[in-house]
Amino acid sequence: MTSLWQMSAAAIASAVRAGELSAREMVTSCLDRMQRIDTGLNAILGTRAEAALQAAAAVDAARQGGHPLGPLAGVPVAWKDNLVLAGELATAGSRMLDRFRSPYSATVLERLQRAGAILIGRTNMDEFGMGSSTETSAYGPTRNPFGADLVPGGSSGGSAVAVAADLCPLAVGSDTGGSVRQPAAMCGVTGLKPTYGRVSRYGLIAYASSLDCIGGLARTAEDLALWLDASAGSDPADATSVPTQPAITPHLAARRDLRGLRVGVPWELNGPGLDAEVAAAIQNAVAQLRGLGAEIVECSLPSVAHAVPTYYLLATAEASSNLARYDGVRYGLRRDAISRCDAMMMQSRSAGFGDEVQLRILLGTFALSFGYHDQYYGQATRARALICADFARAFASCELLLSPTSPVPAFPIGSHIDDPLAMYLCDALTVPASLAGLPALSQPCGFTADGRPIGMQWMAPALREDLLLQVAHVFQANTDHHLRRPLP
Amino acid sequence: MTTYTTVIGLEVHVQLATASKLFSPAPAAALGEPNTRVHPIDLGLPGVLPRPNAAAIALAVRAALALGGDVQRLSRFARKNYFYPDLPKGYQISQYEEPVSRGGAVPLGDGRHCRLERIHIEEDAGKLTHSDLGTLVDLNRAGVPLVEIVTEPDLRTPADAHTMLESLREILRFAGVSDCDMELGSMRCDANISLMPVGSTKFGTKVELKNLNSLKMVQRALEYEERRQAAVLSAGGRILPETRGWNDEAGESRSQRSKESAPDYRYFPDPDLPPLVLDEAFVEAQRRALGELPAPRRERYRSVHGLPAYDADVLTRDRAIGDWFEAVVAEGIDAKTASNWVMSDVLPAQRERKTPLAEFPIAPPRLAELLRLLASKALTQVSARAVFRHMLAHAGSAADAMAALGLLRIADAPTLQPLVDAALQALPEAKAAVLAGKERALDSLKGHVMRACKGRADPAVVDALLRARLDALRGQKG
């Protein structure tokens, strides 16, 4: 018999709608499991048990009253702590926002609630999304359920672990340069970074505005389709949001196999620098894809060689501006300097931000400074245009692109933290799609000999999440990598 | 002694008259208790994003069109980064390399113009108040929409600067862009001024003047700075690039900060806002909404309505004044009469009441009614003014006012006949004199009738009734 915590979001919602399962039961089960298991993981920064149980009771009452229920009715959802929910804390993993409580809600969380989802808890993350291991969180690192000494990836490490450890079937993350996909890969779950603008950013604590995307993490492509349908859509509160697209869930199972699908494998993302076991797992997956009828074509993205420096220049430049609001004047941490306001601001920022955040603010400030602006920020903007053009060319000859998600599987906690450059290179395969604003999905495709998950990344043309999810669904229907559960 | 040419350029901030802020739904009128007119967006809370206000964009475009600017089909918002406690996000959203409008000019009234370099849209910052409690921050004003109008260094005298600002204010008020009130801060001006020897073409080092809170202050501060720089240069000194604050009470400016080390604002395009793309239809709609500007209207008042230049100037000080005047003329009133009444009666009364012309208690058709009565000689100038004052105090029509004031003429014979008969009886000598052919004696009879009805009798009717009675008497004798 399946335990409640093993159920997918789709299964929960349909059972709740059918009256076979109460939302209250479901939420209680998840909260219990969080309490039991998360002490060893540190994925959850805080739960809202009372409000969640109330919301669940409301769903149950609506069902009993014969009212229509949403597509995520009764589904417990955790959210990354850089999304704000009215009345709740939102720390962004930073000391700076230690006790900050938001008076308003992020569009995506409101939409999930409207769809019947029950928001149960906030997940740990690298401070302001700046990190690839969830080690820069001011609230301690999150541990990987596939090995307690391993990082879960980052920055949405808490959300990836919440799903991987079956604390909840669905979690919301954010992906600026791979922060949903890379932890999904390292924790053996499926993660979707939608097209830039497809999910409103309103209420997402900004890291790098031109790259930030809200993403979803789940155990199946089907659950991600449900998540995206509930979350996406144009929003007047986000001037960069794109028009609402048709729902994906009704057509998710449109394909039985991959016949007729041309999959491009850009050699720049599948070449040297890959961990041998990762490379082998991808080769194996490619063989499986061929077996499912896909046509594999070689292709090239010549400019992605510049993707990592381009990404770090643009992201840090934007971050240096986005994080200027944390000055101790209106909210957040304040160190009171007796004399001057500027001293107060400086001391507050020095005390509130961790080392990685300070490093990136300094980098970004430099990249925008007089005399260097064109050489760094300007040059990065031009490189970004080249990378976008590469993708456009590549998609002229294939429907999807495939690569590993991360060049390496999960590494031990503490092994990279003093080497920012090594950490930044973990993002080499995910930042190209971020720079081009394209949708990308990571799904499990194998394991290392010592049992660490390996993920593969699909990249699609803008707004083709439908294709990503259909193909991921077919792959999951024919493989079992995504079914391996680390914790009983 | 060297004589100098003064070179002045202005940077004028004008608040756009919108209901809500540039990027948030909070009300744009920065009134009320501190920090009550704020939305999470204005506070720069974590996660908020700017929502462009289409009405503010429309007014900015209208300002650009009114000033002859070349409205850019694509412009871009940029972030100006600096730390200050009144700046909630740590950056101001402004426009930098790609402003909404380039070029344009402001007429100086004598055929000369002050050219504009650019007009860009930006948000206002909050306000700091220094008190015993420390420095207090009020963010009601944060996010209020502004346009910054930057001139070319075309002005040559402080008086020119004054004229330019007056002209600019008149145009922008006409265009409905802003009320341009310098005392209330809806128009703010910084001035750049430098001196160069007469005949030179190389500009001197410029100094920026701030804290200029009225048109007079702009002129006074520039005059002071002109003298100060001339004295420094004449003594062989060097002008330092600096910002100076004007102290109007002291009548002098003081150095605020040096510009040798300019702050680095690290401008870059705001990634939260797509480029501002204005299509032809939008720009044309703003052009239509702009209506007639003051200069063409003045010309029309002179040529079409035949008004003197003075009248045309007064009536075009404000769009509402001209509109009011035209509404009176549209009722068939002679233009000069309407102009006289608007200038010497309506406007002073309105100034006294401190209410907009739209709320003036006498509507244009009512004034027209009064002026028609005046034209038909039903009222004298003096009683017409009394009627006007009554209408001002009690509203209502001219006829109502005349009734209330007892100014209605008595012209019907049955009412006047007894008064005529009473006069003939009361003044037998006069009656006899008239019958004897002394026409002038008729006046004393008329006077008697008039006294009896406090002057309200229609003289023609009284005359006719008297003559009829006297003719009848002659007939009896004859």
The residue type at A188: G
Lowest mean pLDDT among A146-150, A408-412, B60-64, B384-388: B384-388
User: Using CA atoms, how far apart are residues B346 and B110, in angstroms rounded to an integer?
Assistant: 29
Residue A159 and residue A123 in contact, taking contact as beta carbons nearer than 8 Å: yes
* Confidence at residue B452, expressed as pLDDT on a 0 to 100 scale: 82
Q: Across all residues in chain B, what is the average pLDDT?
A: 92
**Best of B84, B261, B272 to mutate (most A CBs within 10 Å, chain A):** B272
User: Using CA atoms, how far apart are residues B357 and A405, in angstroms rounded to an integer?
Assistant: 69
Tokens 């964009």 belong to residue: B57
User: Using CA atoms, how far apart are residues B186 and B140, in angstroms rounded to an integer?
Assistant: 14
Closest chain B residue to A82 measured between Cα atoms? B47
Residue A297 and residue A264 in contact, taking contact as beta carbons nearer than 8 Å: yes
Confidence bin at B1 (pLDDT 50/70/90): low
Q: Look at B47 and A106 and tell me if their CB atoms are within 8 Å.
A: yes
Q: How far from the centroid of its chain's Cα atoms is residue B172's Cα?
A: 9
In this complex, is the C-beta atom of A148 within 8 Å of any C-beta atom belonging to chain B?
no
Q: Render pLDDT for B327-348 as a digit per residue (tens, 0 to 9).
A: 999 999 999 999 999 999 999 9
Tokens 């009176």 belong to residue: B328
pLDDT score of A143 more than 60: yes
Which residues of B fall within a CB distance of 8 Å from A319?
A: none
* Confidence at residue B16, expressed as pLDDT on a 0 to 100 scale: 98
Burial class, B29, CB count within 10 angstroms (exposed 0-12 / middle 13-18 / buried 19+): middle
Mean pLDDT, residues B24-42 taken together: 92
Mean pLDDT, residues A20-49 taken together: 97
Return phi, psi of residue B137, to 5°: -110, 130
Which 80-109 residues of chain A touch chain B by CB within 8 A?
82-84, 90, 92, 97, 100, 102-104, 106
Mean pLDDT, residues B37-56 taken together: 97
Which residues of A fall within a CB distance of 8 Å from B43?
A: 330-331
Among A249, A221, A230, which Cα is nearest to A112's?
Answer: A230
pLDDT score of A1 more than 70: no
Confidence bin at B237 (pLDDT 50/70/90): very high
* Confidence at residue A368, expressed as pLDDT on a 0 to 100 scale: 96
| CB-based contacts of B237, cutoff 8 Å, min separation 6 | none
Among A104, A45, A126, A105, which Cα is nearest to A78's?
Answer: A45
Pairing of strands A262-266, A190-193: unpaired
Residue A77 and residue A27 in contact, taking contact as beta carbons nearer than 8 Å: no
Strand-pair partners of B245:
B210, B254
* Confidence at residue B30, expressed as pLDDT on a 0 to 100 scale: 64
For chain B, what is the radius of gyration of the CA atoms?
33
User: Using CA atoms, how far apart are residues B317 and B43, in angstroms rounded to an integer?
Assistant: 38
In this complex, is the C-beta atom of A376 within 8 Å of any C-beta atom belonging to chain B?
no
In this complex, is the C-beta atom of A340 within 8 Å of any C-beta atom belonging to chain B?
no
Which tokens go with B277?
Answer: 């793309």
* Confidence at residue B355, expressed as pLDDT on a 0 to 100 scale: 83
Residue B204 and residue B21 in contact, taking contact as beta carbons nearer than 8 Å: no
**Best of B133, B268, B270, B273 to mutate (most A CBs within 10 Å, chain A):** B268
User: Using CA atoms, how far apart are residues A228 and A243, in angstroms rounded to an integer?
Assistant: 14
Tokens 């006046």 belong to residue: B443
Which residues of B fall within a CB distance of 8 Å from A103?
A: 40, 45
Per-residue b or e along A232-248, where b marks 16 or more CB atoms closer than 10 Å to that residue's CB: bbebebbbbbbeebebb
CA distances (Å), origin B181, targets B14, B15, B172, B178, B185:
9, 9, 11, 8, 6
ipTM over 0.85: yes
Residue A55 and residue A65 in contact, taking contact as beta carbons nearer than 8 Å: no
Which tokens go with B319?
Answer: 């769009």
pLDDT score of A466 more than 60: yes
Closest chain B residue to A100 measured between Cα atoms? B46
DSSP letter for each residue of A270-297? SSTT--HHHHHHHHHHHHHHHHTTPEEE
- Quick count: other Cβ atoms within 10 Å of Cβ A297? 13
* Confidence at residue B101, expressed as pLDDT on a 0 to 100 scale: 98
Residue A213 and residue A199 in contact, taking contact as beta carbons nearer than 8 Å: yes
In this complex, is the C-beta atom of A321 within 8 Å of any C-beta atom belonging to chain B?
yes
Which 161-200 residues of chain A touch chain B by CB within 8 A?
none
Helix or strand (DSSP H, E) at B177: none
Nearest to B271 among A92, A209, A373 (CB): A209
Q: Look at B85 and A318 and tell me if their CB atoms are within 8 Å.
A: no
Nearest to A330 among B88, B268, B273 (CB): B88
DSSP letter for each residue of A292-333? TTPEEEEE--GGGGGHHHHHHHHHHHHHHHHGGG-SSSSSS-
Closest chain B residue to A105 measured between Cα atoms? B47
pLDDT score of A227 more than 60: yes
Q: Render pLDDT for B405-422 as a digit per residue (tens, 0 to 9).
A: 877 777 788 888 988 999
Mean pLDDT, residues A227-241 taken together: 98
In this complex, is the C-beta atom of A246 within 8 Å of any C-beta atom belonging to chain B?
no
Which tokens go with A206?
Answer: 């900004």
Which 421-440 residues of chain A touch chain B by CB within 8 A?
none
Return phi, psi of residue B9, to 5°: -130, 150
**B32 or A470: which leads in pLDDT:** A470
Among B278, B293, B287, which Cα is nearest to B106's?
Answer: B293
In this complex, is the C-beta atom of A471 within 8 Å of any C-beta atom belonging to chain B?
no
Strand-pair partners of A458:
A402, A441
Closest chain B residue to A128 measured between Cα atoms? B46
Which 108-147 residues of chain A touch chain B by CB within 8 A?
none
- Quick count: other Cβ atoms within 10 Å of Cβ B419? 18
Among A304, A228, A227, A318, which Cα is nearest to A269's?
Answer: A304
Q: Render pLDDT for A382-436 as a digit per residue (tens, 0 to 9).
A: 999 999 999 999 999 999 999 999 999 999 999 988 888 888 888 999 999 999 9
Which residues of B fall within a CB distance of 8 Å from A107?
A: none
Strand-pair partners of B208:
B192, B243
Q: Look at B268 and A325 and tell me if their CB atoms are within 8 Å.
A: no
Helices (H) and strands (E) in chain B, counts: 17, 17
Which tokens go with A359?
Answer: 């490093």
Closest chain A residue to B89 measured between Cα atoms? A325
Rounded to the nearest angstrom, the minimum Cα separation between B261 and chain A is 12
pLDDT score of B461 more than 70: yes
Q: Look at A324 and B51 and tell me if their CB atoms are within 8 Å.
A: no
pLDDT score of B140 more than 60: yes
Size of interface A-B (CB pairs under 8 A): 103
Q: How many residues does chain B have?
A: 478
In this complex, is the C-beta atom of A324 within 8 Å of any C-beta atom belonging to chain B?
yes
DSSP letter for each residue of A164-200? HTTS-SEEEEEESSSTTHHHHHHHT-EEEEPPTTSS-
**Residues of A annotated as catalytic (active site), given as ranges:** 80, 155, 179
Among B2, B49, B43, which Cα is nearest to B270's?
Answer: B49
Mean pLDDT, residues A61-89 taken together: 97
The number of CA neighbours under 13 Å toward the Cβ of B215 is: 14
Mean pLDDT, residues B360-380 taken together: 87
Per-residue b or e along B281-298, where b marks 16 or more CB atoms closer than 10 Å to that residue's CB: ebbeebeeebeebbeebb
Strand-pair partners of B264:
none
User: Using CA atoms, how far apart are residues B303 and B310, in angstroms rounded to an integer?
Assistant: 13
Mean pLDDT, residues B49-59 taken together: 98
Which tokens go with B438?
Answer: 């002394």
* Confidence at residue A338, expressed as pLDDT on a 0 to 100 scale: 65
What DSSP state is assigned to residue B369?
A: H
Classified as helix, coil or strand, B189 is strand
Helix or strand (DSSP H, E) at A358: helix A355-367
Residue A456 and residue A404 in contact, taking contact as beta carbons nearer than 8 Å: yes
**Best of A83, A329, A361 to mutate (most B CBs within 10 Å, chain B):** A329
pLDDT score of B477 more than 80: no
Dihedral sign of CA atoms B281, B283, B289, B292 in order: negative
* Confidence at residue B229, expressed as pLDDT on a 0 to 100 scale: 97
Q: Look at B46 and A201 and tell me if their CB atoms are within 8 Å.
A: no
Q: Look at A327 and B268 and tell me if their CB atoms are within 8 Å.
A: no
* Confidence at residue A259, expressed as pLDDT on a 0 to 100 scale: 97
* Confidence at residue A397, expressed as pLDDT on a 0 to 100 scale: 95
**B48 or B451: which leads in pLDDT:** B48
User: Using CA atoms, how far apart are residues A213 and A209, in angstroms rounded to an integer?
Assistant: 9
User: Using CA atoms, how far apart are residues A390 and A353, in angstroms rounded to an integer?
Assistant: 37
Nearest to A239 among B47, B50, B264 (CB): B50
Residue A46 and residue A10 in contact, taking contact as beta carbons nearer than 8 Å: no
User: Using CA atoms, how far apart are residues A10 and A71, in angstroms rounded to an integer?
Assistant: 8
Pairing of strands A76-80, A118-123: parallel
Which residues of A fall within a CB distance of 8 Å from B135?
A: 341
User: Using CA atoms, how far apart are residues B228 and A337, in angstroms rounded to an integer?
Assistant: 40
User: Using CA atoms, how far apart are residues B120 and A379, in angstroms rounded to an integer?
Assistant: 26
Closest chain A residue to B273 measured between Cα atoms? A239
User: Using CA atoms, how far apart are residues B246 and B191, in angstroms rounded to an integer?
Assistant: 11
Among B98, B125, B112, B107, which Cα is nearest to B13's?
Answer: B125
Which tokens go with B175?
Answer: 């265009």
Rounded to the nearest angstrom, the minimum Cα separation between A393 and chain B is 25
User: Using CA atoms, how far apart are residues A377 and A159, in angstroms rounded to an integer?
Assistant: 32
Closest chain A residue to B269 measured between Cα atoms? A318
User: Using CA atoms, how far apart are residues A143 and A434, in angstroms rounded to an integer?
Assistant: 26
Rounded to the nearest angstrom, the minimum Cα separation between B10 and chain A is 25
In this complex, is the C-beta atom of A452 within 8 Å of any C-beta atom belonging to chain B?
no
Mean pLDDT, residues A206-212 taken together: 98
Which residues of A fall within a CB distance of 8 Å from B273?
A: 239-240
Q: Look at A324 and B81 and tell me if their CB atoms are within 8 Å.
A: yes
Helix or strand (DSSP H, E) at B68: none
Return phi, psi of residue A458, to 5°: -100, 140
Classified as helix, coil or strand, A383 is helix
pLDDT score of A483 more than 90: yes
